Structure 1
Amino acid sequence: MTHPLLLALVPLVADLSRDLPDQERYRRLLRSLRQLLPCDAVALLRLEEDVLVPLSVEGLSPDTLGRRFRLGEHPRLDIIVQNREPTRFSTDCDLPDPYDGLVDGVHGDLEVHDCLGCPLYVQDTLWGVITLDSLDPARFGSADLRDLQAFASLAAATVMASERMSLLARSVEDQRQLAEVYKRAAGGRGPRELIGQSAVHRRLQQEIQLVGNSPLTVLITGETGVGKELVAEAIHLQSPRAQKPLISLNCAALPELLVESELFGHVKGAFSGAISGRSGKFELADGGSIFLDEVGELPLPVQSKLLRVLQSGQLQRVGSDQEHRVDVRIIAATNRDLAEEVRAGRFRADLYHRLSVYPLVVPPLRERGRDVLLLAGYFLEENRARMGLRSLRMSPEAQGVLLGYSWPGNVRELEHLISRAVLKALSAHSERPRILTIEAPALGLEDESPVALGTPSLLADVHPVVKPGEGLKEAVDGFQTMLINEALSRHNGKWAEVARELNLDRANLSRLAKRLGIR
């Protein structure tokens, strides 16, 4: 009889020579691990400084992929990374579990369960961890942890294959310096991420990488709240200027009289209150990049001076005849239609063409599909830590509501909505629960009309599902039924393909389909 470890390792060895997308490579890795050690949930997490970032999960809520687990706040994960060997926690371990409330099909606490974790080392450097959870408290009792360690060694080779190109592109020293730049850009909070896995989000990241390595001026457009500043930071960090400063200025936040001084600086006595000279944003950004947010708000006189800097790299401080030369890459952003502003005479045509050498459109949240759940997970974990909660999750009904909403305020609206929902859910309890669950009513979206809730691609289909007089549960069930049936049609009834598209564990999809009466 073939040893189970060999059965699990053979597909991974074969995959090492294949050109696979990262997500598919990681999915195959976890599938092989579950073949070796059957369990209810498994996750692959990468270590970034002191934060574990989920790259792929099975058997866990989809919002888990958007969460960021800081080691100091999650003692089980901290213990796993500190041990070179695999760690199995006793079933009566009272340490909080990072996946409390996140295992699919579990509506209560993970009080008695089996939990395993194993660190992954790439070239003798800690890269991340693999975690396994089983609702059966005796699941891993007979497991040979040497098998898990052998698997982890090949898993490390798998992740190294995925990251080989990026490791070749940047030296270890470059990576360290970039991490420092990221930290400064985020005000010391650690890297601010562009979170998402949707096709439109991946295309945006590809464009960022493409234009980041170029010297081109970039004009970022998109609706309010989509994250244009984060895109600007990502472009700067992809550029050869990454080790130099990125200086930001919100052009709409300053009075007209101060905008020119902020951009170009001033000399002592240049205007009332100028008691000393100062450098402007362009001089501070010399050698690096400057991000001009809401550039469409600049007054016309300032636009002409900005155009001069773009054309010649020369500027004059307010009140001075002396010219200063600067080497600055401009990244601008606006939620206005600048072409229309040009036609209306409110924006200079020559400046518009200079700024929009490479136009980059950031997609609205309503076009990003299930990215909303990843982002919700990110904000849930932030609120969990901020509120001192042991575990914070969102009910399946609440997730369905988030997927159906149109998000006119985009990611910023989602961030604020999650914060309000946590407070509402917390106020309903006299004592803090072990697991705080955000139910759909706490989101405050239940009064939205069905038409307003639908995304453009799903609008025509969602409207017939939500019938007058139905409750929220019936409406969500109808929406889920529609999604599953459509996916079945696209994949010719292949349930494995449907589970992959919907980012669900196959067993959990089968249970859901059975409950919904889908055959």
Structure 2
Amino acid sequence: MNPLHALLLTDLAMELPMAVRLQRLVELLRMQFGCGAVALLSLDSETSSLRPVAVDGLSSDAVGRRFPIAEHPRLATLLQRAGEVVRFPHDSKLPDPYDGLVIEQPGQPLDVHDCMGVALEVEGQCWGVLTLDALTVGTFEGKAIRELEQLVLVIEAAVRVTRLETALRGVRQSAGAVEEGIASRPEGEIIGQSKPLLHLLQELQVVADTELPVLLLGETGVGKELFARRLHQMSRRSGKPLVHVNCAALPEALAESELFGHVRGAFSGAIAERAGRFEAAEGGTLFLDEVGELPLSIQAKLLRALQNGEIQRLGADRPRKVNVRIIAATNRNLKERVQEGSFRADLYHRLSVYPVPIPPLRERGNDVLLLAGFFLELNRARLGLRSLRLSVAAEDALHRYAWPGNVRELEHVVSRAALKALSHGAQRSDIVTLEADWLGLDVQPLPMAATVLHAPMLAPAPSMRAVVDSAQREAIRWALDAHRGQWAQAARSLDVDPSNLHKLAKRLGLKTA
């Protein structure tokens, strides 16, 4: 038996998390074939695209990329020739989706020279594709093709087992990507594999199946609308409408009519009866975005709708019953607005039955590169580029930037940098590398005790305790600055209990009030 066969069969007999099993699979395959990169991509039939679920040897942002089949003829060929191992020779005229993405080796080019792959079937249906790529000509000769042919059934079995294990855990297929570290949905994607994000997705999965109002809390640009859509799609109301209302964009004079509707003659210009957003969302979900911006005059009527399930059209004599679930979102501190008198306390308590904080991008670790990969691929296709990638310095800058505008800001930064690359003379047929300068980020120094760690060689060596205390002091100050003095949020970003953080700060001589 082929040694790799034995290893893969051993893995099948073990209970492993989905992400671990598939990652071991691609790592073993890369080692067996001695190639530059191996990728396992699942087919999303709704978007007609392939998304990586496990990769080895590709750049850090590769997992966040999406590959529309219509734009990648090599991947389309694999799907068209299902069940057959296909090799693309080094002189193939078909563009390779991984040009510039295989991790660089000294003295090797950026473009892929040898490639082979196969479409995978699970339970009689196409599941996705496996691809193997090399920067060296001749890596995949006849022997390699025969070896992959012999392994296909075991590889498909590994994918099938992960699906069965996921089903046995009771994870719904729509949320199965949480197990893989990549969350997706039909009308957009929540991309990431960080612990804060996966914890949030698990929490949403639990609350989605209830009828409780949910209050999404987060900074501007974190994607509150995406999480609201995910909540709706995982709920019992997913077959009914999801109606989005931007409360910040509602003029006070028209807010009541927009939400609750009006009858003919209710005001000047009301020439016909009109239903409001509540009635449009009947049986489904009403998403009140930026709910903190609602005028006080509307808040009382919104409270009545939440308490009694009744609305009254403007100018009407009788109320109407409505069956609507409320998801609200805000980037404001509603508790402070209640204290200021600009938001009703009773409405706040009704909306925040289940508050859900959405972590900012700076707390999501390597998710910034996965998201960057997603936006890089979008811009590559939009601008008609052969390949679009990040330099090592650009990756470092993305990690070190604080992202006050979160995911939305990252999208704009990547799009702007791609245009700058073209304006600096990059050709669309090139492998275009985005440099750190083109990102235009004001990167701050890392929160480290630089003066201690970089002390002159002749200075007396500080004690270990002094080094640790200095680093902890700087980390706490950085976290508090990043969260505008909010100790609870700073503690969460540092993964420390808030009470322990206060005690540590006092010991380090920092002010805690």
CA distance in 1 between partners of 2:269 and 2:109 (Å): 62
Are the counterparts in 1 of residues 101 and 389 from structure 2 also a CA contact under 8 Å?
Answer: yes
Report the CA distance between 1:274 and its aligned residue.
1.4
Q: Which moved more, 1:156-165 or 1:420-429?
A: 156-165
Q: Which amino acid aligns with 1:140?
A: F
Over residues 401-444 of structure 1, what are the superposed CA-to-partner deviations in whole Å (9 max), with x where a residue is unaligned? 10111111111110111111111111011643421111111011
Report the CA distance between 1:18 and its aligned residue.
3.1
Are the counterparts in 1 of residues 397 and 443 from structure 2 also a CA contact under 8 Å?
Answer: no
Matching residue of 2:63 = 65
Matching residue of 2:208 = 212
Matching residue of 1:497 = none
Report the CA distance between 1:109 and its aligned residue.
5.6
Where 2:136 maps in the other structure, the secondary structure is coil
Matching residue of 1:119 = 119
Where 1:279 maps in the other structure, the secondary structure is coil
Where 1:121 maps in the other structure, the secondary structure is strand
Q: Which amino acid aligns with 2:91?
A: D
CA distance in 2 between partners of 1:440 and 1:155 (Å): 39
Matching residue of 1:270 = 266
Report the CA distance between 1:9 and its aligned residue.
2.5
CA distance in 2 between partners of 1:22 and 1:109 (Å): 33
When residues 39 and 465 of structure 1 are mapped into structure 2, their CA distance, relative to the original with a 3 A threshold, is: farther
For the pair 1:411 / 2:413, whether they are aligned, the reply is no
When residues 164 and 264 of structure 1 are mapped into structure 2, their CA distance, relative to the original with a 3 A threshold, is: farther
Matching residue of 1:32 = 28
For the pair 1:255 / 2:251, whether they are aligned, the reply is yes
Q: Which moved more, 1:155-164 or 1:312-321?
A: 155-164
Correspondence list, 1:57-136, <5 A: 57-84=55-82, 85-105=84-104, 110-111=110-111, 113-136=113-136
For the pair 1:324 / 2:320, whether they are aligned, the reply is yes
Matching residue of 2:506 = none
Over residues 215-237 of structure 1, what are the superposed CA-to-partner deviations in whole Å (9 max), with x where a residue is unaligned? 21100001111111101011111
CA distance in 1 between partners of 2:69 and 2:451 (Å): 44
CA distance in 2 between partners of 1:462 and 1:408 (Å): 24
When residues 88 and 410 of structure 1 are mapped into structure 2, their CA distance, relative to the original with a 3 A threshold, is: same
When residues 94 and 111 of structure 1 are mapped into structure 2, their CA distance, relative to the original with a 3 A threshold, is: farther
CA distance in 1 between partners of 2:21 and 2:209 (Å): 27
Over residues 432-461 of structure 1, what are the superposed CA-to-partner deviations in whole Å (9 max), with x where a residue is unaligned? 34211111110112x5442xxx4xxxx226
Where 2:61 maps in the other structure, the secondary structure is helix
Report the CA distance between 1:463 and its aligned residue.
8.1
Are the counterparts in 1 of residues 37 and 58 from structure 2 also a CA contact under 8 Å?
Answer: yes
For the pair 1:140 / 2:140, whether they are aligned, the reply is yes
Correspondence list, 1:475-494, <5 A: none
Are the counterparts in 1 of residues 112 and 133 from structure 2 also a CA contact under 8 Å?
Answer: no
TM-score (norm 1): 0.81
CA distance in 2 between partners of 1:329 and 1:301 (Å): 22
Matching residue of 1:163 = 163
CA RMSD of aligned residues (A): 2.4
Report the CA distance between 1:17 and its aligned residue.
3.9
CA distance in 2 between partners of 1:139 and 1:133 (Å): 9
Where 2:311 maps in the other structure, the secondary structure is strand
Where 1:57 maps in the other structure, the secondary structure is strand
When residues 313 and 150 of structure 1 are mapped into structure 2, their CA distance, relative to the original with a 3 A threshold, is: farther
Question: Moved runs in structure 1, 4+ residues, more than 6 A?
Answer: 462-467
When residues 171 and 146 of structure 1 are mapped into structure 2, their CA distance, relative to the original with a 3 A threshold, is: farther
Report the CA distance between 1:81 and its aligned residue.
1.1
CA distance in 2 between partners of 1:370 and 1:461 (Å): 23
CA distance in 2 between partners of 1:200 and 1:32 (Å): 29
Report the CA distance between 1:170 and its aligned residue.
8.8
TM-score (norm 2): 0.82
Matching residue of 1:53 = 51
For the pair 1:9 / 2:12, whether they are aligned, the reply is no
For the pair 1:460 / 2:454, whether they are aligned, the reply is no
Q: 2:304 aligns with which of 297, 301, 308?
A: 308
Report the CA distance between 1:466 and its aligned residue.
9.6
Query: Unaligned stretches of 5+ in structure 1?
Result: 176-184, 468-481, 483-519
CA distance in 1 between partners of 2:411 and 2:111 (Å): 30
For the pair 1:281 / 2:277, whether they are aligned, the reply is yes
Matching residue of 2:294 = 298
For the pair 1:380 / 2:403, whether they are aligned, the reply is no
Matching residue of 2:422 = 426
Q: Which amino acid aligns with 1:129?
A: V
Over residues 227-278 of structure 1, what are the superposed CA-to-partner deviations in whole Å (9 max), with x where a residue is unaligned? 1110101111111111111110110011111111111111112112212121
When residues 9 and 215 of structure 1 are mapped into structure 2, their CA distance, relative to the original with a 3 A threshold, is: farther
CA distance in 1 between partners of 2:226 and 2:109 (Å): 36
Q: Which amino acid aligns with 2:162?
A: S
CA distance in 1 between partners of 2:165 and 2:321 (Å): 37
CA distance in 2 between partners of 1:75 and 1:200 (Å): 37
Are the counterparts in 2 of residues 119 and 152 from structure 1 also a CA contact under 8 Å?
Answer: no
Matching residue of 1:438 = 434
Are the counterparts in 2 of residues 52 and 128 from structure 1 also a CA contact under 8 Å?
Answer: yes
CA distance in 1 between partners of 2:8 and 2:187 (Å): 31
Identity %: 53
Are the counterparts in 2 of residues 66 and 376 from structure 1 also a CA contact under 8 Å?
Answer: yes
CA distance in 2 between partners of 1:208 and 1:226 (Å): 15
Query: Unaligned stretches of 5+ in structure 2?
Result: 176-183, 456-470, 472-513
